[in-house]
């Protein structure tokens, strides 16, 4: 899990329980090759690919709970992170480890921890450093489940400050002596606002606060947030990373650059000796493991297979989304919100951070709730489903579903209105998608 060549770091990571699959010699070789590899090649080769023992090109599925060892001493060594090996799949599993290595390499982190869902990844990325009395500053335009989760945290004595726009101007006045983390989504789902994380990181780092970024809707194909100041990256890998809409899962990746002040981050103090691995060591040996939010081996396998085609899917999905957004905008049948369009206030940031791409989600304002429902019901191809990142096009009316628990104020600041429809664009033939959307919008004219 550690890609740092320095022997010191490798040993530290190992003792922290973060390195357990690749033998030392193999690791050095892997590091060398990984450094030369470009993104699309890395999706198929390098760490987390195949199985060295048998030559299997696909990662084997270790569908087991426990691992037997030859002696009580050996199991003791493994439990104490003094010997390589596996003990119990809630703590570590080879199939899950392969997925963690792959996603970590793609993001360019120092290690990753896979979770049972995107929600558990979001929750643990924060709880790993928080104690009662702490404050967090978060975007008000977050995914509905994340907004609900942050509201839940208040019962544990964590104060949450929601900020409408994650800009330096709006975030700065919300930071206090007690702020312990700032959390944002890279491309907000569904407001589709892009956070200028370079600027935000500059601000929060000047206050010794880490920036935690949910990069689910961007994926490492569009941006590697560690290169733009993010300290921790989380994903709901149920979405684009899996790609096939077949497994719920999440992952937390540590960029390894934040220097933790162990006076301020008391939860991490017990892991001080692990230096830059303190955050991951605490996660793996503490809350994550004790909460049991581990990823199932089968789901890790589905993600690893899905990742192989991440670039191809994202390229097509972003292209389809732009083409569809343009077509609907030109038709004048609905108001279109898509960061890839010149009309989006975030088009400049899409150019700066995402190589000009706008992701694969768009939202429409149809004029009324009735028209939104009528449009959704008139579509031939899109599935009416609460998900994104599937190869199939999916549509949903967020206000009556994902944001059903939110207040109207919360909905509006998340970009959700009664006439909003969210479209997660798939890889279908774009002409079919355009024809279908236009006919479905056209049929709502008289409603």
Site residues for ligand PLP per CB under 6 A: 117-119, 122, 143, 145-146, 185, 189, 214, 216-217, 236, 238-239, 248, 250, 388
Measured from the CB of residue 250, what is the shortest distance to ligand PLP in angstroms? 5
Measured from the CB of residue 214, what is the shortest distance to ligand PLP in angstroms? 5
Beta carbon nearer to ligand PLP, 111 or 144: 144
Residues for the chain: how many in total? 447
Separation between Cα atoms, residue 289 and residue 291, nearest integer Å: 6
Measured from the CB of residue 234, what is the shortest distance to ligand PLP in angstroms? 8
Pairing of strands 211-214, 179-185: parallel
Using CB atoms, what's the residue nearest to ligand PLP? 118
Measured from the CB of residue 181, what is the shortest distance to ligand PLP in angstroms? 16
Beta carbon nearer to ligand PLP, 103 or 268: 103
How far is CA 166 from each of CA 162, 232, 272, 347, rounded to the nearest angstrom? 9, 17, 31, 16
Separation between Cα atoms, residue 351 and residue 349, nearest integer Å: 5
Separation between Cα atoms, residue 234 and residue 252, nearest integer Å: 5
Measured from the CB of residue 387, what is the shortest distance to ligand PLP in angstroms? 7
Residue 150 near residue 160 (C-beta atoms within 8 A): yes
Beta carbon nearer to ligand PLP, 238 or 282: 238
Beta carbon nearer to ligand PLP, 13 or 113: 113
Beta carbon nearer to ligand PLP, 214 or 390: 214
How many Cα atoms occupy the beta-carbon half-sphere of 169 within 13 Å? 2
Beta carbon nearer to ligand PLP, 218 or 283: 218
Secondary structure (3-state) at 260? coil
Beta carbon nearer to ligand PLP, 17 or 339: 339
Measured from the CB of residue 205, what is the shortest distance to ligand PLP in angstroms? 23
Count Cβ neighbours within 10 Å for each residue of 209-238 and write b for 16 or more, e otherwise. bbbbbbbbbbbbbbbbbbebbbbbbbbbbb
Residue 277 near residue 16 (C-beta atoms within 8 A): yes
Bond into 213 cis (ω within 30): no
Measured from the CB of residue 316, what is the shortest distance to ligand PLP in angstroms? 20
């Amino acid at each position: 899990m550690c890609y740092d060549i320095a022997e010191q770091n490798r040993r530290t990571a190992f003792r922290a329980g973060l390195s357990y699959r690749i033998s030392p010699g193999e690791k050095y070789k892997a590091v060398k090759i990984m450094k030369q590899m470009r993104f699309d090649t890395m999706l198929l080769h390098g760490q987390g690919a195949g199985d060295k023992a048998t030559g299997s090109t696909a990662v084997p599925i270790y569908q087991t709970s426990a691992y037997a060892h030859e002696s009580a001493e050996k199991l003791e060594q493994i439990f104490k992170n003094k010997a390589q090996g596996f003990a119990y799949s809630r703590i570590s599993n080879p199939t899950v480890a392969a997925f963690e290595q792959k996603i970590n390499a793609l993001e360019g982190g120092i290690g990753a921890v896979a979770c049972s869902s995107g929600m558990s990844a979001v929750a643990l990325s924060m709880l790993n450093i928080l104690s009662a009395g702490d404050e967090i500053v978060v975007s008000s335009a977050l995914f509905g489940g994340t907004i609900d989760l942050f509201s839940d945290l208040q019962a544990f004595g964590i104060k949450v400050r929601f900020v409408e726009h994650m800009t330096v101007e709006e975030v700065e006045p919300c930071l206090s002596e007690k702020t312990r983390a700032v959390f944002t989504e890279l491309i907000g789902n569904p407001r589709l606002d892009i956070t200028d994380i370079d600027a935000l990181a500059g601000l929060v780092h000047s206050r010794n606060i880490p920036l935690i970024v949910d990069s689910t809707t961007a994926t490492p194909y569009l941006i590697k947030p560690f290169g733009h100041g993010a300290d921790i990256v989380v994903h709901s890998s149920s979405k684009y990373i899996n790609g096939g809409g077949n497994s719920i899962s999440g992952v937390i990746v540590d960029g390894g650059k934040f220097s933790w002040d162990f006076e301020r981050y008391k939860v991490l103090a017990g892991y001080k000796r692990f230096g830059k691995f303190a955050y991951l060591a605490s996660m793996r040996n503490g809350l994550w493991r004790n909460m049991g939010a581990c990823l199932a081996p089968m789901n890790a396998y589905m993600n690893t297979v899905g990742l192989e085609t991440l670039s191809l899917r994202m390229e097509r999905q972003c292209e389809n989304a732009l083409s569809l957004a343009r077509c609907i905008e030109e038709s004048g049948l609905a108001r279109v919100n898509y960061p890839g369009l010149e009309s989006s206030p975030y088009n400049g940031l899409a150019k700066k951070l995402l190589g000009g791409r706008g992701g694969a989600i768009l939202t429409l304002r149809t004029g009324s709730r009735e028209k939104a429902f009528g449009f959704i019901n008139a579509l031939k191809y899109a599935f009416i489903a609460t998900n994104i990142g599937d190869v199939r096009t999916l549509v949903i009316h967020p206000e009556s579903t994902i944001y059903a628990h939110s207040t109207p104020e919360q909905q509006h600041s998340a970009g959700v209105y009664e006439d909003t429809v969210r479209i997660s664009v798939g890889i279908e033939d774009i002409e079919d998608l355009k024809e279908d959307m236009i006919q479905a919008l056209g049929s709502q004219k008289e409603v």
